[in-house]
Amino acid sequence: MLAQASKLLPLSETCAPATQADLAAQVQACFSAGTPIYPLGGGTALHCAPIGKRQGCGIATTALNRLVDYPARDLTITVEAGMTVAALQQTLATENQFLPLDVPQAGDATVGGALAMNAAGPRRFGYGTIRDYVIGISAVDGRGTAFSAGGRVVKNVAGYDFCKLLVGSLGTLAVVTQVTFKVKPRPAAAAYLVHGLASLEQAESLAVAMAASQTTPVSVNLLMGAAWSEIAEFNLPGPPPAAYFVVGLEGTGAEVEWMLATLKNEWQTAGFPVSRTVGEPEACASLRQRLTEFGCDGGAGTAVKSKLPLVLKLTARPSSVVALVAEVRRLFPSASLLAHAGGGTVLARLDSELQAHELATPLLQVLHPLATRLGGQCTVWSSPFAGELTRSVCWGPARESDAMLKRVKQTFDPKGLLNPDRFIFG
């Protein structure tokens, strides 16, 4: 990971502190010397922002990977931030529990990195995002001062909600060292319903039908493009569909069976007979993995390719997702898309042959303004040429809220040393 980071970031040195106190001391030293600090987790999301220009110190959290506390009956767990998401899930599995997040490359991605990126995934519709599960946090600010927020119990409302503030901050406010999550019992059963769509107009109609459904899906997905054409679960009879509508269900065996029957009946009534049911555990796990890893592997598979894919992440009100998908396909006809139709997120994998200068105009003139009008935003989520992209292309033009964000940044990182030039603000 450190070798990969050295290729993508301007690092003059790297270190991996063994304790939280050692990490605080390293940040203090950088603060005193005015050295920029690049927090490093598993290295899976280094491509998700412009590349900083200032030489600095890479501080890895991977040695901070200990299990601190796991009172399973309380449905909470406390771990250090360098533990991988896969290791966290394996620990929870011993008590038939899980953290309901779909984090790409979970074997490498760290808990702190997932928090910094506000990781979610296809099941965010039913379970929410990482922000909904963080109840306690320890971190080190840009001065090297350690602080904590929240606690180790679910009912904790004391003080400012620093937990939610740090989620999604890309390591620009503090280096997270320890996290407490609330967790859930692992569902006993899962299934997917798949329907092939002749047009995006049908997707709009089916999304409206889902909004009135008696069922409670964990994911509602709209898929388009070549990346999905060779998946066995989508090998439907008849001509190739224009898109796929895929709904995920989880719960007890009885709950899933009832939701399958109910949803099939609702779709039939709305004029959309179900094309396929995916219910085998291995097939469900495989499909969920493909949905989770989309945008990280250059396609819909699970193997991470050597060349980073070019991926846009767009958000909007759920009612506007189909319109957003249509506009992306108009601008980039060969794009493959995964839209979390129930949660308002669209991932668009673009033609890998596009160059950096070919993105500026469609993003700045069309997609950034459109996403803003639809209640969301557009970001360059991954690119093979991150060093050539400006912050305005990656994150969009300046907004009224930027002044407030800069004040928050000044409070936590007065010298602007944490992940400089990589996020919305410096």
Residue 298 pLDDT:
43
Average pLDDT value over all residues in the chain? 89
Residue 219 pLDDT:
96
- Domain boundaries for CATH 3.30.465.10 within the chain: 67-185
Banded pLDDT at 233 (limits 50, 70, 90): confident
Q: What fold, for 311-395?
A: Alpha-Beta Plaits (3.30.70)
Do 177 and 61 touch, CB atoms closer than 8 A? Answer: yes
- Domain boundaries for CATH 3.30.70.2190 within the chain: 189-293
H or E segment to which residue 206 belongs: helix 200-211
Q: Which of 75, 160, 179 is nearest to 119 (CA)?
A: 179
Q: Tell me the DSSP string of 20-76.
A: HHHHHHHHHHHHHHT--EEEESSSSSTTSSPPP-S-EEEEE-TT---EEE--GGGTE
Which numeric CATH code is attached to 67-185? 3.30.465.10
Q: Does 50 score more than 90 pLDDT? A: no
Tens digits of per-residue pLDDT, 236-280? 777 788 999 999 999 999 999 999 999 999 999 988 887 789 999
Q: Which of 215, 218, 205 is nearest to 263 (CA)?
A: 215
Query: What SS3 state is found at 387?
Result: helix
Q: Which residue has the higher pLDDT, 7 or 184?
A: 184
Query: What SS3 state is found at 61?
Result: coil
Residue 389 pLDDT:
81
Average pLDDT over residues 330-340: 94
Residue 413 pLDDT:
96
Tens digits of per-residue pLDDT, 153-193? 655 545 557 888 999 999 999 999 999 999 999 999 999 99
CA-angle at 50, arms to 392 and 178, nearest 5°: 115
Q: Is 89 left (phi over 0), alpha (psi -120 to 50) or beta?
A: alpha
Tens digits of per-residue pLDDT, 279-291? 999 999 999 999 9
Query: What SS3 state is found at 291?
Result: helix
Tens digits of per-residue pLDDT, 80-136? 999 999 999 999 999 999 999 999 999 999 999 999 999 888 999 999 999 999 999
Residue 231 pLDDT:
81
* Pairing verdict, β 276-278 and 189-197: antiparallel
H or E segment to which residue 336 belongs: strand 336-340
- Quick count: other Cβ atoms within 10 Å of Cβ 179? 29
Residue 3 pLDDT:
61
Banded pLDDT at 301 (limits 50, 70, 90): very low
- What type of residue sits at position 22? D
Length of the chain measured in residues: 426
* Pairing verdict, β 276-278 and 311-315: unpaired
189-293 architecture in CATH?
Answer: 2-Layer Sandwich (3.30)
Q: Which of 318, 326, 205, 188 is nearest to 267 (CA)?
A: 205
Average pLDDT over residues 2-11: 74
Burial class of residue 258 in the structure, from the number of CB atoms within 10 Å of its CB (0-12 exposed, 13-18 middle, 19+ buried) = middle
Residue 299 pLDDT:
42
Structure-token pair, residue 296:
């990280």
Tens digits of per-residue pLDDT, 369-400? 999 999 999 999 888 887 788 888 888 887 77
CA–CA distance, 237 with 196 (Å, rounded to integer): 9
- Residues 325/330/331/333 CA torsion (nearest 10 deg): 90
